[in-house]
Amino acid sequence: MDASQRPEMTEHQKQQLQFQLFQDSLPKVNEIVYRMLLNEAIPMAVNVQDRLSEESGGHEDNETEQGLEQDLDAKLTFDPLKDHVPSHKLLQKYLTADEEYQNKVDERLNNIGFLLGQKLSQLLIFSNNPSLNFRDMDLLAVMKFVCRDVWRQLFGKQIDNLKTNHRGTFYLLDNNYKPVESFALDEDMSQEEQTLIEPYLEIPCGVIRGVLDSLGFQEKGQVICTASITSDRESQKTGSSASSRAVLFNVQINPDR
């Protein structure tokens, strides 16, 4: 910008320019890619679990020269599509697997969410308000932070409804849970679809756990977070088959002992 133009700008324009510069300087990432990455975590967890159980299944190592050669061959050639399984097939695998397997996948996802939550809270507190003192805040304020800032950062919206009994139990209701917004299997909503959506709720559960962990609720088992799909009340009224799914997060925080 020319120096000669500068005096002609009003105060308001200057502020606008400054705000624009600030906006441009913020790190940006494509929203679609981010959402896809977040969704892809579930097939990935299934795949990891699959490979682990394959390896522990015990394949014998043959120590012969030929075996070594083959081994070397396998290590030197790289074929990205060799054991490639499409995501929807991995999800089908999750559907047909037994409960122990499903629980292991869920736990893996929960841990991913936990780490994400820990880091996210550091970032949010730093970028939003570094002087915020969480020590003096009560539990409700902390949960409000989860509902507002954390959710907005993760899913681009706030939690729709927060309920509490003031004794450490919180209900967080999200009327339109974004990641599974466009998920549908067949003509009718089925039990299978419900089962397939459930692992998608593990990551936010972990995130809530992680955020609370970094805000001082660190004891093991102090925070219990579960999530369930509830049928959307509004869509039941209109009678249309819901395109948005309501998810209820149930957070139980035990007081300090």
Partner 1 sequence: MALYSFWIFDRHCNCIFDREWTLKTNPSSGTTNSKLNEDTAKLLYGMVFSLRSISQKLGSKGSFNEIRTIATGKYRAHILCTASGLWFILLSDLGQEDLSQVLRYLYSEIYVKTVVYNWLSPVDFADSPNERRGQGFRKIRNRQFLLAVEKFLGPMVN
CB–CB of 170/164 below 8 Å?
yes
What is the signed CA dihedral for 51, 154, 148, 248, rounded to 10 degrees? Answer: -40
Q: How far is the CB of 230 from partner 1 (least distance, A)?
A: 19
Q: Mention every residue, 6+ apart, whose C-beta is less than 8 A from residue 205.
A: 110, 113, 225, 226, 227, 249
Q: How far is the CB of 257 from partner 1 (least distance, A)?
A: 41
Strands of the sheet with 223-230, listed across from one edge: 161-164, 169-174, 246-253, 223-230
Give residues in contact with partner 1 (CB under 8 A): 35-36, 39-40, 42-43, 86-89, 91, 181-189, 193, 196, 241, 243
Q: How far apart are CA 49 and CA 52, in angstroms?
A: 5
Q: How far is the CB of 177 from partner 1 (least distance, A)?
A: 14
Q: How far is the CB of 96 from partner 1 (least distance, A)?
A: 14
Name which of 11 and 31 has its Cβ closer to partner 1: 31
Q: How far is the CB of 42 from partner 1 (least distance, A)?
A: 7
Name which of 77 and 182 has its Cβ closer to partner 1: 182
Output phi, psi for 105, to 5 deg: -65, -45
Name which of 87 and 176 has its Cβ closer to partner 1: 87
Which of 159-168's residues contact partners 24+ apart within 8 Å by CB, and which partners? 164/140, 166/140, 168/139, 168/252, 168/253, 168/254, 168/255
Q: How far is the CB of 220 from partner 1 (least distance, A)?
A: 32
Name which of 127 and 194 has its Cβ closer to partner 1: 194
Name which of 109 and 124 has its Cβ closer to partner 1: 109
Name which of 171 and 183 has its Cβ closer to partner 1: 183
Query: Element (H or E) spanning 149, and its range?
Result: none
